[in-house]
């Protein structure tokens, strides 16, 4: 199938599944707030943000496998593709076991009440919650590796279907908790984990049923491929560390500076404006592996054209963000009710934040797809170093509350917003010039 036709097909189906997902996504948030209450939900939201950190702890294996598997499939090398898949599974299983042991030991000695800044839950209770949640997460860690294979075959609409299935299951289980009065974080953790694992198992069955020629066996495990994956993985891992430190530390910072209650208002506004990120992701997600394939085949003008189109799309998304800004009070009131107070400054900062994230991701996806990540790493490292001091400065000196934390994140991301487009132009110009001299 023609690359552009396939991308359009993936966007079309992804958009459909994402709309359905969003319906159940917002229903699930409403149920969680009602079940737990404002402050306890803040603790749960902070827990989930830490979980999101851990999901990145694959030492960059996911992105490395996505790129190498795309290259192998572009060259019709099925044997190498199976070797990459099997080696990836073995590697991620080892990492998951080691990480779970670390979390178990850490939760046994750490003062979890201090970390989550709450006295609503006892130390022993928090330990059970953390160990149970991360047990589900690390199991999910292994099973969800199939998503990288799906990106590699450029059928990412299947990943959107999995998210849709996850939220259907989650909402069904949350409704059960709500109706029968199970109002505890432990019950939320269980239903969250069950929905997470079940949806990924279904996705795995679908992928290997449709791609039986890619089903690997242990004989496909190759130590040399593990070394290759780990080498590129370490580079991606370093990038992921500084990225998540900027993007996902906000809730921890807010919890420590202001308390869990302020995490709830931040989380609600963030999730409202995540519509912008989701719309951008639907269109941008198929491009990662498409960029890898096009760059491997030296189809540079297709890449340039795609980047220009995505730049224009960001301006459209800016209009969506402004619309959400204008009607945010009414939308949140309809969705959650009037029990949570939202500041206008927080809404304004989140409007800017989602636009700059979309802009950055345009260039990050291309550069990541060709393993050109040094500039991105150093600019994000500078941002990561500045993020916490800036957050403290805006909260303490300007009394901006959680809006100040978002402003610090915006400034931290601005370095790559400038450097990313410049690096992309330089790389593409070099390739064009080299082709001209052949």
Query: 435 and 373 share a domain?
Result: yes
What's phi and psi for 181, nearest 5 deg?
A: 75, 25
DSSP-derived secondary structure letter, 219 = G
pLDDT higher than 60, residue 28: yes
Give the number of residues written for the chain: 438
Last residue of a domain, one of 211, 234, 257: 234
Rounded to two decimals, what is the model's pTM? 0.72
Q: Is residue 346 in some structural domain? A: yes
Q: Say yes or no: 112 and 143 in one domain.
A: yes
Structural domain total, the chain:
2
User: Is the domain of 217 the same as that of 72?
Assistant: yes
Alpha carbon dihedral 1, 65, 164, 47, in 10-degree steps, equals -160
pLDDT digits 0-9 by tens, 63-73: 778 888 888 88
pLDDT confidence band for 435 (50 / 70 / 90): low
Average pLDDT, the chain: 86
- pLDDT tens-digit readout, 43-52: 787 777 777 6
Per-residue model confidence (pLDDT) at position 113: 78
pLDDT at 130: 83
Q: Residue 381: what pLDDT?
A: 92
pLDDT band of 164, cuts 50, 70, 90: very high
Burial of 112: CB neighbours in 10 Å, binned 0-12, 13-18, 19+: buried
Residue 350: domain span = 249-438
pLDDT greater than 50 at residue 438: no
341 or 105, which is more confident: 105
98 and 224 together in one domain? yes
- The answer to whether residue 243 sits within a structural domain is no
CA gap 433, 438 in Å, rounded: 9
Tell me if 244 is assigned to some domain. Answer: no
**Of 234, 261, 286, which residue is a domain's last?**
234
What tens digit of pLDDT does each residue of 235-277 get? 777 787 787 777 667 888 888 888 877 888 888 899 899 889 9
Q: Is residue 5 part of a domain?
A: yes
Burial of 205 (0-12, 13-18, 19+ CB in 10 A): exposed
- Tell me 401's DSSP state: T
Check whether residue 13 and residue 133 sit in a common domain.
yes
| Statement to judge: residues 229 and 327 lie in one domain | no
User: Has residue 239 been placed in a domain?
Assistant: no
Q: Are residues 226 and 271 in the same domain?
A: no
CB 311 within 8 A of CB 371: no
């Amino acid at each position: 199938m023609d690359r552009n036709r396939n991308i359009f097909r993936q966007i079309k189906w992804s958009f459909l599944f994402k709309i359905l997902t969003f319906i159940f996504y917002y229903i699930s948030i409403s149920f969680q707030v009602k079940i737990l209450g404002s402050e306890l939900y803040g603790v749960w939201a902070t827990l989930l943000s830490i979980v999101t950190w851990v999901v990145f702890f694959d030492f960059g294996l996911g992105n490395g496998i996505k790129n190498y598997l795309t290259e192998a499939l572009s060259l019709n090398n099925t044997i190498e593709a199976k070797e990459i898949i099997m080696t990836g599974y073995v590697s991620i299983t080892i990492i998951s076991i080691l990480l779970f042991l670390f979390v178990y030991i850490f939760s046994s000695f750490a003062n979890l009440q201090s970390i989550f800044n709450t006295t609503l839950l006892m130390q022993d209770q928090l330990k059970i919650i953390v160990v149970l949640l991360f047990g589900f997460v690390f199991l999910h860690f292994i099973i969800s590796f199939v998503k990288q294979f799906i990106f590699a075959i450029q059928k990412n609409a299947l990943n959107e279907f999995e998210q849709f299935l996850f939220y259907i299951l989650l909402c069904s289980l949350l409704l059960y908790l709500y109706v029968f009065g199970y109002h505890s974080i432990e019950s939320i953790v269980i239903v969250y984990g069950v929905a997470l694992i079940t949806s990924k198992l279904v996705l795995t069955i679908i992928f290997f049923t449709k791609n039986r020629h890619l089903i690997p066996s242990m004989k496909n495990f190759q130590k040399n491929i593990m070394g290759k994956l780990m080498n590129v993985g370490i580079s991606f891992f370093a990038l992921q560390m500084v990225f998540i430190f900027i993007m996902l530390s906000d809730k921890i910072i807010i919890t420590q500076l202001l308390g869990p209650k302020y995490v709830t208002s931040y989380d609600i506004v963030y999730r409202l404006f995540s519509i912008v990120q989701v719309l951008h992701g639907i269109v941008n997600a198929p491009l990662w592996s498409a960029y890898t394939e096009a760059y491997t085949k030296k189809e540079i003008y297709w890449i340039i054209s795609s980047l220009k189109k995505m730049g224009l799309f960001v301006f459209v998304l800016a209009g969506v963000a402004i619309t959400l800004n204008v009607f945010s009070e009414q939308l949140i009131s309809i969705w959650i009710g009037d029990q949570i107070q939202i500041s206008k400054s927080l809404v304004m900062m989140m409007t800017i934040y989602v636009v700059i994230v979309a802009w950055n991701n345009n260039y990050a996806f291309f550069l990541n797809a060709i393993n050109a990540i040094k500039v991105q790493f150093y600019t994000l490292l500078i941002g990561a170093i500045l993020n916490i001091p800036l957050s403290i400065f805006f909260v303490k000196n300007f009394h901006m509350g959680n809006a100040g934390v978002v402003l610090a994140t915006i400034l931290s991301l601005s370095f790559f917003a400038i450097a990313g487009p410049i690096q992309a132009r330089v790389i593409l110009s070099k390739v064009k010039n080299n082709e001209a001299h052949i």
